[in-house]
Amino acid sequence: MDADEFRELGHALIDWIAKYRETLATRPVMSRVVPGEVRTHLPKQPPARGGGANDLPGLLEQLVMPGITHWNHPSFFAYFPSNTSFASILGDLACAGLGVQGMSWQTSPAATEVEEVMMDWLRQMVGLGEGWTGVIQDTASTATLGALICARERASQFAQAGPGLQGDAPPLVVYASAQAHSSVEKATLLAGFGRAHLRSIVTDDNFAMRVDALRGAIADDITAGNHPCAIVATSGTTNTTAFDPIAAIADVAEEHKLWLHVDAAMAGTAMIVPDCRSLWAGIERADSLVFNPHKWMGAGFDLSAYYCRDPQHLIRVMGTNPTYLRTLQDGEVSNFRDWHIPLGRRFRALKLWFYILDVGVDAIRARLRRDIGNARWLAEQVAATPPWEVVAPVPLQTVCIRHVAPDLDESALAAHNLAIARRINDSGAAYLTPSIVDGKQIIRVSIGAETTERAHVAALWLLLQNVAAGTV
Ligand SMILES: Cc1ncc(COP(=O)(O)O)c(C=O)c1O
């Protein structure tokens, strides 16, 4: 492909993406293909000769679209919002077009410096103090792994430089609520703590970590000769968007000199709305935090913002210094390769920059308020319509509900609610997530696609009622 062909095919592809977005609402939200179906339409062997890339929109439409679940659809209520705004698509395109590796400042100074400024804009947008320094990572999972590695090294006084975790020091222990995301458990295992040293702390009636239970677990570990190391608190749990009490947890962390990492993957974006900031009161006392502009905000996947208080510690843990990576500017610039696990890094900041430039903070804040308002409206409708019930508080945009049909025992109710969710997902009219909360099968409605207006939420509510009543 030469530059002229690229120009022509590129225009066709942009037209196709624009049309896809314009007609998105007419497609079934969840893909209807069966396992293996997409694969069967692709040749088993790679082509020996090129020239097959001249109708990319045609290929996408024919082979790919049937296997796409439409995350930017206005009736997408599953998992979490994953907004990819037009401006951020252009940022990703520019990133690919430039094709740079921003591993060191020198390998593309703009990649580092635009990222530094974007992380600072984002810090201000969510109301964090100047003591936080940010770096872009691919996902919250990776960021949490990095945080726990930093915690491990601080608690073990840099055991990585010697025996690692294979010396004879007492085992290090990590604490997280029973509602923490699976990435916390994964990070604990991958960072070498071992499952035996992850304490799952019980939650209260609102699904937030119980600080008395946290204190009890730490005391038990000290008595047993273990070494409490880190607490992972969640601001906005996956199931119900519950908020662990950061200030009280920070008291415990300070008392015992534990690392406090806050996982705000989905809900961090809400802090752009000042009224929401009380939900993570105490955040300034954490050591690290992560949130994902690639979820509710609008900068497309993947773009996770990791903030820490002590970048020098991060660099000491993650830094490498082989001769072939040394540059003249080392010592006076940030070399972001030393701020996380991968060496190579894309110029992801472009998509965040383009997005913020295009939309502006006021409009982002207004949209978040709209979504929170829509979630409250849905919760009110559900609460006012027995035997429907809302099973968890609704601090933001996630509404967990269930239909308590009369005369059904718990297992029949579970089957009934699961069937409602599956029926809706199979219909293509909307897509939501069945889950289990407090032992109960629930239907989880996560509101927040850029295109979702009140009318779409109202249509979902009508559909839920009709499916539960068996009238559709
Ligand atoms: C609270 C929480 N933490 C972490 C994650 C994982 O995010 P990522 O896909 O960026 O690793 C999620 C995703 O749903 C989440 O809800």
**Which residue lies with its CA nearest to atom 16 of ligand 1?**
238
Note the pTM of the prediction, 2 decimals. 0.96
Question: CA-CA distances (angstroms) from residue 343 to 107, 141, 144, 288, 314?
Answer: 12, 17, 17, 21, 14
**What is the pLDDT, as a whole number, of residue 472?**
83
Question: What is the residue whose two structure tokens read 């809302």?
Answer: 390
State what percent of residues in the chain have pLDDT above 70: 100
Question: Exposed, middle or buried by CB within 10 Å (0-12, 13-18, 19+), for 134?
Answer: buried
Mean pLDDT (whole number) for 108-134? 98
Ligand 1 centroid to residue 263 C-alpha, Å = 8
Q: Is the CB of 238 under 6 A from ligand 1?
A: yes
Mean pLDDT (whole number) for 301-313? 97
Ligand 1 atom with minimal separation from the 266 CA: 16
Q: Is the CB of 80 under 6 A from ligand 1?
A: yes
**Which residue lies with its CA nearest to atom 7 of ligand 1?**
140
Q: Is the CB of 95 under 6 A from ligand 1?
A: no
Mean pLDDT (whole number) for 114-124? 98
Ligand 1 centroid to residue 125 C-alpha, Å = 20
Ligand 1 centroid to residue 190 C-alpha, Å = 16
Q: Is the CB of 304 under 6 A from ligand 1?
A: yes
For residue 456, give the nearest of 24, 3, 14 by alpha carbon. Answer: 24
- The string of pLDDT tens digits covering residues 374-432 is 999 999 999 999 999 999 999 999 999 999 999 999 999 999 999 999 999 999 999 99
Ligand 1 atom with minimal separation from the 294 CA: 10
pLDDT surpassing 90 at residue 365: yes
- The string of pLDDT tens digits covering residues 169-197 is 999 999 999 999 999 999 999 999 999 99
Mean pLDDT (whole number) for 103-108? 95
Q: Is the CB of 446 under 6 A from ligand 1?
A: no
pLDDT surpassing 90 at residue 318: yes
Q: Is the CB of 85 under 6 A from ligand 1?
A: no
Q: Is the CB of 301 under 6 A from ligand 1?
A: no
pLDDT, mean over the chain: 96
Which tokens in the block code for residue 447? 């509101």
